[in-house]
Amino acid sequence: MTVSECRPEDVPELVASAAALFAEDGGQHDPFMDTGWPAREGEAYYAGLVENPECLCLLAGGGAGHLIGRLRRPDPLRPDAVTAVLESMRVAPDRRREGVGSALVAAFLAWARERGANEMTVQAYAQNAGALDFYRAHGFRPFLVSLTRS
């Protein structure tokens, strides 16, 4: 299994993986998630990320998954924080527990450190115990808690 940075010709595969993530994760945990967004808007959005030097778009070989990371713009309220955000990650269900996610996260962390990040963040749905356990196993710790009410 290889992990490689996306090229413009890889955008359709990236969109397909993102669409699957929307359906598998957001579609199950967020009643307001627009799971059709990747099909409508994904190509332009992800093509822009692939071309953006402050973004990282990775694909794991053989359709095993993807990761999207980005550098957060400086925050005047937190002037010493250089933050890299793991925006999106998916590992295909039949490829889980094979090290795909670990390889994607390792590549993201290396990319972030090369760019001077001293803080890496990720968000996951509170109900997604598997994702929370995975990120904790890779050194992520709770920092902010978002509460919602209907």
Asked if residue 144 has pLDDT above 90, the reply is: yes
Tokens at 68, concatenated:
């999207």
User: Do you know the residue count of the chain?
Assistant: 150
pLDDT tens, residue by residue, 53-96: 999 999 999 999 999 999 999 999 999 999 999 999 999 999 99
Tokens at 91, concatenated:
């590992």
Q: How far apart are CA 79 and CA 114, in angstroms?
A: 19
Query: Please, what are the domains in the chain?
Result: 3-137 (3.40.630.30)
With contact defined as beta carbons under 8 Å apart, do 70 and 85 qualify? yes
Q: Rounded to the nearest 5°, which phi and psi values hold at 119?
A: -150, 130
